[in-house]
């Protein structure tokens, strides 16, 4: 089956991934967008493994204060370059993870990575991080985090 430019464009808009990744996934899925999204999700962890030995030289710090000002989180999300660290979408991922920590109160990074993401329970935090690696093409890892609560 031939994949159309429109199909690639729609998948790219939905996922934010490169044209090439979207095209290959659609070709493998014979044009089925749902199957292509599943293929992209499966590929994300493999891409993250390939980049595992790269140097983490940049990142961003995100803070989240929950409504009522009784819970707050500060988090490092590490990456390879300032170019990615300054990207608004990268910063949004860090903020989402900080919000998740405020809600779920994990004790360790390992526990955090295994938790279902509060905004989309079909994905774990590890899936979210791996998707970030896939999207930006850079190694991305959680750094330190701290959760504060007045309760």
Model confidence pTM above 0.95: no
- The predicted pLDDT at position 98 comes to 98
pLDDT tops 80 at residue 85: yes
Domains of the chain with bracketed CATH: 5-50 (1.10.8.10), 58-149 (3.30.479.20)
Longest C-alpha distance within the chain, in Å? 58
pLDDT tops 60 at residue 93: yes
- Provide the 3-class DSSP secondary structure of residue 16: coil
Which element (helix H / strand E) includes 42? helix 33-50
Spatial CA neighbour of 17 closest among 39, 34, 38, 40: 40
Which element (helix H / strand E) includes 114? helix 109-114
Residue 54 — very low, low, confident or very high, per pLDDT cuts 50/70/90? low
- The predicted pLDDT at position 81 comes to 92
Spatial CA neighbour of 65 closest among 95, 89, 106: 95
- The predicted pLDDT at position 50 comes to 60
Residue 120 — very low, low, confident or very high, per pLDDT cuts 50/70/90? very high
pLDDT tops 70 at residue 65: yes
For the residues 33-46, what does the mean pLDDT come to?
76
Give me the phi and psi of 108, to 5 degrees please.
-135, 165
The residues, any chain, with a CB within 8 Å of residue 143's CB and separated by 6 or more, are: 59, 75, 76, 77, 78
């Amino acid at each position: 089956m031939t994949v159309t430019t429109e199909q690639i464009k729609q998948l790219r808009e939905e996922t934010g991934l490169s044209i090439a990744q979207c095209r290959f996934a659609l070709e493998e899925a014979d044009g089925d967008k749902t199957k292509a999204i599943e293929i992209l999700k499966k590929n994300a962890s493999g891409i993250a493994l390939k980049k595992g030995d790269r140097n983490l030289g940049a990142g961003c710090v995100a803070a989240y204060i929950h409504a009522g000002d009784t819970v707050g989180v500060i988090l490092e999300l590490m990456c390879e370059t300032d170019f990615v660290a300054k990207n608004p979408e990268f910063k949004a991922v860090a903020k989402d993870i900080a919000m998740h920590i405020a809600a779920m109160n994990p004790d360790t990074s390992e526990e955090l990575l295994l938790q279902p993401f509060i905004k989309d329970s079909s994905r774990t935090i590890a899936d979210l991080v791996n998707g970030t690696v896939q999207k930006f093409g850079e190694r991305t890892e959680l750094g330190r985090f701290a959760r504060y609560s007045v309760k």
